[in-house]
Amino acid sequence: MLLASGLTIIFGILNVPNFAQGHLYMVAAYLGFYMVMSYATNYWLALVLATFALGILGLIVYFLVFYPIRNAPEVNLFVAAMALLMILEGGALYLFGTETKWFLIPWSRRVLTLGELSLQVQRLIVIAGTVVVMMALWVFIKKTALGAALEATAQHREGALLCGIKVSRISAMAFVVGTALAGIAGVLIGPAVLLMPTMGMGPLLVAFSAIIFGGLGSIAGAVLGALLLGVVESLASGYISATYSLIVVFGIMIVTLLFRPKGLLGREVWRP
């Protein structure tokens, strides 16, 4: 879900589908892992650090990659995002190898049981964390000037320019926020799942599906979409299998695109 909102922000404002977002999340997870496991950092501290690190990474990427080519044909931006993905994946494969790693923290094994349901503590933390971040995001967008500027640029780039909003700065910020969100997601979710260099892909597709299902450009839509799809995925994982659940989610996205491209809460259909 965090991934989805991050994606919405970046995508809505820059019209750049950051394919690498999934892998950025993976990077964050690994970062957190190494910090905690190898350097015995406090988990929460690692969370904050990783988020910062990813935000900075996002800034660097923005200025090195997307800013210089912002006026090129749209496809070039896609290709650049794809190249980023390749770099991150290749790099991760090389640095971390292909075996999976367990991201262990003090309470990893602990499970909370509420009657019939047993939940990993970490998953609860993820949910709680998500809620907190979502609320913070909402406050930011709705209540601060900067947030308003962000939303304005997302909805109408030229209009925002005319109002004197520094679009390039906003874009950079959007990117940073997006990657930082990925960072949070990485460290939060990392302990709950296996760490693999390819772990970014699944969530990425789900996140995109959520955005499309929930509607473009609207954060509420992304959240709603993610919620609904998350439920679907869990159900599917339970009843069919984990791998096929991905197909189900993806199938929903395809159906949405075919019959109702606006999604549930989105704005314009994509017509460049």
Partner 1 sequence: MKIFSPVRIGWSLALILAILLPLVLGEYLTSILLLIAIWSIMAVSLNLLYGYTGQLSLGHSAFLGIGAYALGLIAVKLHIGFWPAFFASTAISGLAGFLIGIPALKLRGPYFVLVTLGFAAIVGVIVLAWVDFTGGANGLAGMPRPNPIPLPWGAELRFDSLRSMYYFTLFFLVLIAAICHRLVHSLIGRTFLAISHDENLAESLGINTMQKKLISFTISAMFSGVAGALYASYNVVISPDLAYFARGMDVLACLIVGGAGTMAGPIVGTFVMTAIPEGLQIVPYLKTLINGIILLLFIIFLPAGITGGFKAFFYRWGHAWKSGKGRNGIA
Residues that bind partner 1 (CB under 8 A): 11, 15-17, 19, 65, 68-69, 72-76, 78-80, 82-91, 93-94, 201, 205, 208, 212, 241, 243-244, 246-247, 250, 253-254, 257-258, 261, 270-272
How far is residue 204 from each of residues 185, 201, 226, measured CA to CA in Å?
Answer: 12, 5, 12
Which tokens go with 164?
Answer: 């004197």
Q: What are phi and psi of 114, to 5 degrees?
A: -120, 90
Residue closer to partner 1 (CB basis): 143 or 156? 156
For residues 119 and 88, what is the distance between their CA atoms, to the nearest angstrom? Answer: 32
Residue closer to partner 1 (CB basis): 187 or 219? 219
Closest distance of CB 252 from partner 1, Å: 11
Residue closer to partner 1 (CB basis): 45 or 82? 82
List of residues 6+ apart from 221 with CB closer than 8 A: 8, 211, 214, 215, 263, 264, 265, 266
Closest distance of CB 169 from partner 1, Å: 21
Closest distance of CB 1 from partner 1, Å: 18
Closest distance of CB 200 from partner 1, Å: 11
Residue closer to partner 1 (CB basis): 120 or 237? 237
Closest distance of CB 113 from partner 1, Å: 31
Residue closer to partner 1 (CB basis): 163 or 194? 194
Reduced to 3 states, what is the DSSP secondary structure of residue 111? strand
Residue with tokens 């003090």: 106
The candidate with the shortest Cα–Cα distance to 4, out of 130, 100, 96, 120, is 130
